[in-house]
Amino acid sequence: MAKYTEDVRQLLELIGGKENIQAVSHCMTRMRFVLVDEKKADARAIEKIRSVKGTFTQAGQYQVIIGNDVAVFYNEFTAYAGIEGVSKDAVKAAARTNQNPLQKIMSALGEIFAPLIPALICGGLVLGFRNIIGEINFFAGGTKSLADISQFWAGTYSFLWLIGEAVFHLLPVGIVWSITKKMGTTQILGIILGLTLVSSQLLNGFSVADTAASDIPVWDFGFAKVEMIGYQGQVIAAMMAGFVLVYLEKFFKKHCPEVISMIVVPFCSLVPAVIIAHTVVGPIGWKIGDAIANIVYNGLMSPFGVAFAGVFGLLYAPVVMTGLHHMTNAIDSQLTNLYDGTILWPMIALSNIAQGSAVLAMSVLQKRNERAQQVNIPACISCYLGVTEPALFGVNLKYGFPLVCGMIGSAIAAMISVGAGVQAFSIGVGGLPGILSIKPAFYLYFLTAMAVAIVVPFVLTMAVGSRKLSKEALCGEESEELPQTESIGAESGEKASVELKAGLTGRVIPISEVPDEVFSQCVMGNGIAIEPESDTVVSPADAEVGVVMADTGHACGLVLDNGAELLIHVGIDTVDMGGDGFELLVKEGEAVKQGQPLIRFDPEKIRAAGHPTVTVFIVTDEGNYETAEYLSGMDGKAGETTVIRFA
């Protein structure tokens, strides 16, 4: 007898019927749909289906979170709907057809900059600390800095520029590498091309403006001269050069015989790419980058700058939902290198805070709605730390008015920030920690803007929500009950403490730091994650294998002796790899011992495919135990370090 007959019927109806489904597949926890018209899907009603834990849209896919039992649900759904499921690659390809050209460009831009964000944030904090110790005169009546009166701090000030220069002046190396990585071409060629853009043989790009034209060195080819100018800190020029290399390599790979490709392809791709970079796309990209940065900077610093800031602050959150916000990373980087700081990024941090404050108000309003709080609280925390998508899609957009209240608060805060000329050293940690990247001279102004971004959305959301929200939304459905799960391998009343050991060797981090909103929001349940240093996942405890992803091998579920259920997922979105790089070592229904190998994987293949290797261990059901303690922030050793403790 079918287990999810009624839920399947409801989902098919609420998603717009069979005719609205272009393609469907599933991963370890989610149904993945490509819909003909996403507007026909009633997300609010779908999330009320008993077996559904949430919905969201990502990269053109409408994803419905089911949990460990998704394979059973999927089989029943496809059988009931009379449709055939397709491969993950087919779903991904179909999803791309739902994106317009601008969305595709922005998606690509986001994927290029995503691997660079940690370095940019680190660099911004380093520059902030460096300026505090070397640029602010705290001593001798306001005439000397800490570096001026202490040799230790003077040395530290000098040393830190080693990191700052590597991040911001040599940024083109990272950009070209990231492009080759994203496009699937040879990454070392990208690194070499990037190095040719910032080589010490060239006149430093930051010195060009102060160098007379006659003093600029050139390559003299007799019939032509090419200026030997570096592209330190240039974003657009590096991106254009990177794509030239990518398409040259793809062209020669396609047309070159395999027997000589190892010699011909690298040479015929890299050498012309370097020539084109320094003669054509480099100078053009430099002009374009400077033009964009100048337009934004002059617009914000003009007499109409405050109005411009208000519009930006108002619209930034909706822009995030379209994915177009990735362009600001390139603009911020260009502003940082052109004007020694960015006036744009502080407004982005303030928008994050404003949307988080709207969620905070919703959390207060819905304090009696347990199901809503499971989304509100983690979404608010992640938003205040700079990750807004969970708050935007999970709360604010769902109800509408919190989004608008956050936008209003963001607009007012942005106007204060720009009106006071607030600048950041560079891109930083978004949300409340954003002040760490603000130039100290603007701390007071930014704190004022932060206060506005917190108070205005909170007060507006409370005022509107108290009138607009129904009793059901405020308190939850009285008839709503959590689905019951049968404890396996444990009798009722057993309360002996149980410890789960690390399933991998590596750094153990909180689940909130995982770069996936379903995991980080604890939609499936709480847990921990490990940045792996080993390549084999072992069982954290004696258990029975409850479910496996046999076709991809990247995930499995365990049922522990205390009745708890544990989901193990290697990497993020690794279902897209189709099993390449994974070896499943157990089968469904098999009894395993603590420390027994479960999954073997190739970390390099995961990275090459563009996915994080972080592995999550999620307790989807705590069984017959009342509490679970999740331990993180240490280096774990597979099979030895305790990471989860039941009591």
CA 271-275-281 angle, to 5 degrees, is 130
Considering all CA atoms of the chain, what is the largest pairwise distance in Å, rounded to the nearest integer? 90
Q: Where does 49-186 have alpha helices with state H?
A: 70-81, 88-96, 101-113, 117-134, 146-149, 151-164, 171-183
Q: In what order do the strands lie in the sheet with 565-570?
A: 591-592, 543-548, 555-560, 565-570, 615-621, 526-532, 506-510, 634-636
Whether 556 is a known active-site residue: answer no
Taking the C-alpha atoms of residue 366 and residue 466, their distance in angstroms, rounded to an integer, is 10
CB count in 10 Å sphere of residue 647: 12
Amino acid letter for position 635: D
69: Cα separation from own chain's centroid: 26
Taking the C-alpha atoms of residue 499 and residue 33, their distance in angstroms, rounded to an integer, is 38
Sign, Cα dihedral of 587, 588, 590, 591: positive
Taking the C-alpha atoms of residue 348 and residue 424, their distance in angstroms, rounded to an integer, is 11
Contacts of 341 (CB under 8 A, 6+ apart): 335, 423, 424, 425, 426, 439
Amino acid letter for position 397: L
Backbone torsion region of residue 522, taken as left when φ is above 0, otherwise alpha when ψ lies between -120 and 50, otherwise beta: left
Integer CA distances (angstroms), 262 to 249, 252, 258, in order:
11, 11, 8
Cβ-contact 203, 141 below 8 angstroms = no
Taking the C-alpha atoms of residue 433 and residue 451, their distance in angstroms, rounded to an integer, is 13
Q: Where are the beta strands (DSSP E) in 310-404?
A: none
**Tokens found for residue 268:** 């015929």
SS3 532: strand
SS3 101: helix
Q: Which of 27, 380, 405, 556 is catalytic?
A: 27
DSSP string for residues in 389-450: HHHIIIIIHHHSHHHHHHHHHHHHHHHHHHHTT--BSSS---SGGGGGGB-GGGHHHHHHHH
Taking the C-alpha atoms of residue 76 and residue 561, their distance in angstroms, rounded to an integer, is 29
**Tokens found for residue 612:** 């994080």
Amino acid letter for position 268: C
* Half-sphere exposure in the Cβ direction for 628 (13 Å, CA): 23
Integer CA distances (angstroms), 408 to 381, 405, 503, 635, in order:
20, 5, 46, 43
Residues constituting the chain? 647
Phi first, then psi: what are they for 368, rounded to 5°?
A: -95, 0
Question: Which residues does residue 599 pair with via DSSP β-bridges, in sequence order?
Answer: 537, 584
Taking the C-alpha atoms of residue 524 and residue 518, their distance in angstroms, rounded to an integer, is 7
First to last CA, the chain: 36
What value does the CA radius of gyration of the chain take, rounded to a whole number of Å? 27
Which residues are part of the catalytic machinery?
27
